[in-house]
Chain A
Amino acid sequence: MDYMNKKRPQQVVGMAYVPWQNWGELYEPAKALQCGTLFAVLNKPFIGCRCDRKR
């Protein structure tokens, strides 16, 4: 697990990165099935318009 906590190298042009998910806030079972995911950070409902970059 140590290699995941080291300071990440600076991101460079032309490379694709995927932020690392940590064990975080969970939904209740009923809500999880309804939203389609157990993790609140992964619940990305379709809005249909341009969203803020931090979303």
Chain B
Amino acid sequence: MPVYNLKVNGQSHTVEADQDTPLLWVLRDHLDMVGTKFGCGIGQCGACTIHVDGSATRSCLLQVSMIEDMEITTIEGLSDDASHPVQQAWKEVDVPQCGYCQAGQMMSAAAFLTQNSNPNKSEIRDAMSGNICRCASYNRIEKAVEVAASKLS
């Protein structure tokens, strides 16, 4: 089995995996970083969203062989101490119901806010529409993105 060198949350890891293994399962099964969630496996729900070189990306569609030398950030690495404005906002607004999709939601929001730090509601809704929340905590997700934006500014 091929060996890959990955840089996840600022740390180097060596993993042995088939070249077509999605990064999602490398993170979860090989590296024991289970914060990134499996929802659909086809890039439709956003539960597995991570950052690749700062951009929100679906880790279920990203083969391990494609990401060597790239900077991977997962929910575990969004901050060292839950201090990222998005994490703080999610807590303040008490967004989660079941909470399963929220890592993906937060990673989408964090990447979006680096592109647009002062979004209006419509821009937030567009940006977050790739992430499904089956509990439909959408009103609070919208609010939390607003709160996070205000913390960033």
Q: Do A and B come from one complex?
A: no
Which residue numbers of A lie inside 8 Å of B, CB to CB?
A: none
Which residue numbers of B lie inside 8 Å of A, CB to CB?
A: none
